[in-house]
Amino acid sequence: MHTKTLQALASALADKSVSSVELTEHFLKRCREHNDNLNSFITLTEETALAQAKAADDARAKGNAGPLTGIPFAQKDLFCTKGIKTTCASKMLDNFIAPYDATLVTKCQDAGLVSLGKTNMDEFAMGSSNENSHYGAVKNPWDTARVPGGSSGGSAAAVAARLVPAASGTDTGGSIRQPASFSGITGIKPTYGRVSRYGMIAFASSLDQGGVFTQTAEDAALLMNVIAGFDPKDSTSADVAVPDYAATLNDSLHGLKIGLPKEYFAEGLDSSIATIIENAAKTLEQQGASVTEISLPNTPSAIPVYYVIAPAECSSNLSRFDGVRYGYRCEAPNDLEDLYKRSRGEGFGAEVKRRIMIGTYALSAGYYDAYYLKAQQVRRMISNDFQQAFNDVDVILGPTCPTTAFKLGEKTTDPVSMYLNDIYTISTNLAGLPGMSIPAGFVDGMPVGMQLIGNHFSEAKLLNIGHQFQQVTDWHQQMPEGF
């Protein structure tokens, strides 16, 4: 049962060949069997899941079920979930019980999805390997000596190992697409503002965007129908009509114009991955698309721009964690200043402290114009590159990552090397564009993802291309051995 796609499980529930309770028990059993090895979940909510599953079966019996009613799901542990521990994988929030639900959580509950628990992640979503968690590193099911990617590594590993059919994630600079690539699954980051950020604990407010991990593009389309839409509670939410993402999955690719950025195939890209992406482009050509080379000249500036803007915003957002109102508080503080210093010093991990300090410096008097303002100006240039490209092509195709998943501990002492792993994903966040990674091959037994980037609110087109590619390839059907 766990090898089936979301669509297949929905059909099984609809024809009553399996109940939601049976399905939920099956996946919970898999979580118990494999989570000690993978560390993909921080919290399993077994009682809540079974209660939701029973309610889903009752709704289905009464004819009140939606397309995904009764399907097991998992939430990344930065979406507030009422009455359930929501930690952001940080000691700072180890004792925090959310008093309300994030909008994405509410939408999933309204659709009848059954939440199995909260998945592990890099602390406050800061990282590309899921090694920066207070609860320990997540391991890649394809090779448990390697990282699953980050920051949404727990969700990616759980879906890749089929511990859950689908899971939520967030993407600030590649944190859905990079782990999707490393873990051999489909991951989509929608346009900034397409999915509500209300109740999603913030890292960098102008970059963060919620999305999903699934086996297939078709499954991702079904979930996008659930989570997308305007939310008056979120001031950054876009009031733009939401299409039926599943309705256009089977559209022909004839006449589609695909651009390959020459900057994405330059020094630093593993040659075997380059070959896989070029072969994927040829497959799409055989399906009727045309492929041309394009240029995104400001791509090399994306990482330095991101690592000024994101830390600056994190410095501001994380100032609320002061040991006073909620979260971790140090023992026996001498005075208020000691409370602030020790609570933050003891509550935050090394990577979070590093980014807070960088961001505070970039925003400080005398440096704001030189760093933060300049970064925002170059950000506009990066966005303009994409808009220029979309005058000539419909979508952009390239590698998701320059390498396959690296070994645990390989880059922990070299943060700059870790940051460079996001070279192909960061630009889309800076420009607020949708991006998707889908499986495209393997190098030495490890998955490789190809990235599709579209213009604003073109998620349906990306899902259509991904689905058509998956109709003639089987990379997305491959499973890690032992799971």
Q: List, by residue number, the catalytic residues.
A: 76, 151, 175
Residue type, 245: Y
Q: Hey, what are 305's tokens?
A: 């721009």
Sign of CA dihedral 276, 282, 284, 286: negative
